[in-house]
Structure 1
Amino acid sequence: MTFELRDVSFSYPGSQSTKPTLSNINLSIKPGQLVVIVGSNGSGKSTILTLLSRLYDPTSSPHSILVDGIPISRYCMADLRRATATLTQDHSLFPLSLGENIGLGYADKVNETEMIDRSAEKGGASHCLKKLERGKETRLARTFMRFETGNVRFVTVDEPTSALDSEGEFSLFDHLIQAREGKTMIFVTHRFGHLTKRADLVVCMKDGTIVEAGTHEELMVLEGEYAKLYNIQASAFFDDGPS
């Protein structure tokens, strides 16, 4: 799926702030691209995913976001939902077995044990099935189950790794990238070092605007906001490492 944002502005309904959450966002995303959106807290990263998933329409104009060249407002909501897989840190679990929770990602195949096991392994939940535990891994595995439908063309990943250690985070991202198969993927993450190096496009945001966009290498050369955030994280990593 391709996305084009043209002078997109947005304020959440009922917001008392005089400043919009997003201001004049212009962004083009090509089909199959891996895009990583970074920035400090409150910069508007997750709000972009909210608009692309059409949980809200832009304040500027419902026609200012194009999907495959067509205004997003013209699409049937159900069609957009079928084509989109969303992974966040607060997905719900239901009072069902772990296998059934994962199987809900593809309800028609909820009893397909091999498919569920494969999704569980990719999402890091295979040990949970054995130990009968519940948690974040089950939510991650459910997203991989969605991929099995063959309908998913767009994947949004919004801060899903806050509860994962570095090894678990790397494994999750690696499995997601391996599962791309032409899907357009957009990641929002506050721990972005190794992921941004593999991205086709890195979008750096600050105060509701895009301040930089390019590859990791291009943005590091600029020595701007992205390089500052990257170097802060790199310094913290080495400071916390073994002496």
Structure 2
Amino acid sequence: VVALVGENGSGKSTLVKLLAGLHLPDSGRLAWDGVDVAEADREQIFDRVSLLTQDFERWPVTARANIEIGRPDATDGDLTAAARYSGADLIAETLPKGFDTLLARVFRGASELSGGQWQKFGLARAHYRDARMIVVDEPTSALDPGAEIAAFDRIRGLADERRAVVLVTHRMSGVRYADLIYVLHEGRLVEQGDHESLLAAGGRYASMFHMQAEQYGHGEGAGTGVPHQGGSAPKPT
């Protein structure tokens, strides 16, 4: 799990587009397994990338198609595994026709999902696609703190010996468990390491982490991402 951290305009989105082959570098070299992206078959690159963002696609089709749309040639077993992984299977059980329920209120007899439910379908779609690299960009903005922690756990669980997760987020509670963190500033890489080493370095990452930590209290939920309720949050000791 690789995390990209930095303020708006630091270059995170540009770097992700380069990794995914959507943009080609003007100079320098970026390679997949030694193959320069400028010379690679772009369709093969696209086939190896999956994207999960804060703006979950809400396709006006069935619940099943909302998961399968990223890899239409997969099997029903893959759908079951993906839905179970994200929790979308439990949502489908509450729908009138299960996975065959149309998810678009503009059609008669269709159903609509909440933001958190759509997030689980987005995660199921990323799991179902079975890409080599999953780019996760601010995936938990629609979730409450408890659901956010569970979502980050599931996102980290997508990484294995053949799959990398590139996490772009401002939520430091999710970044701290990444294997490697890159800190970007004004389009340049300024720091890299894991959470503990970057905190010890006392640089830009440490400053951002402590700044966000000050927004949380020491009472119920302290350290879990639950905002302090009532008054200004005390500084951590």
Q: TM-score scaled by structure 1?
A: 0.75
**SS of equivalent residue, structure 1 residue 203:** strand
Tell me what 2:204 maps to.
225
- Give the drift of 1:165: 1.8
**C-alpha distance in 1 between matches for 2:129 and 2:31:** 24
Tell me what 1:53 maps to.
20
Amino acid at match of 2:228: G
Tell me what 1:191 maps to.
171
Tell me what 1:40 maps to.
7
8 A Cα contact 1:124 1:172, kept in partner = no
CA-based RMSD: 2.0
Match for residue 200 of structure 1 among 155, 169, 179: 179
Tell me what 1:241 maps to.
228
8 A Cα contact 1:122 1:172, kept in partner = no
**C-alpha distance in 2 between matches for 1:44 and 1:104:** 30
**Structure 2 segments unaligned to the other structure (5+ residues):** 96-110, 219-226, 231-237
**C-alpha distance in 2 between matches for 1:138 and 1:179:** 15
Amino acid at match of 1:58: P
**Structure 1 segments unaligned to the other structure (5+ residues):** 1-33
Bigger proportion of residues as strand: 1
**SS of equivalent residue, structure 1 residue 60:** coil
Pair 92,197 (structure 1): closer, same or farther in 2 beyond 3 Å: closer
Match for residue 159 of structure 1 among 133, 138, 142: 138
Aligned residue runs from structure 1 range 58-97, under 5 A:
58-61=25-28, 64-97=29-62
**C-alpha distance in 2 between matches for 1:224 and 1:232:** 12
Tell me what 2:158 maps to.
179
Matched, 1:116 2:79: yes
- Give the drift of 1:173: 2.0
Match for residue 99 of structure 1 among 64, 68, 77: 64
**SS of equivalent residue, structure 1 residue 205:** strand
**C-alpha distance in 1 between matches for 2:145 and 2:12:** 22
State the Cα deviation string for residues 129-154 of structure 1 (Å, max 9, x = none). Answer: 2244333332222111112xxxx221
**C-alpha distance in 1 between matches for 2:216 and 2:13:** 24
8 A Cα contact 2:21 2:46, kept in partner = no
- In the alignment of these two chains, the number of paired residues is 201
8 A Cα contact 2:159 2:165, kept in partner = yes
Give identity over the alignment, percent: 33
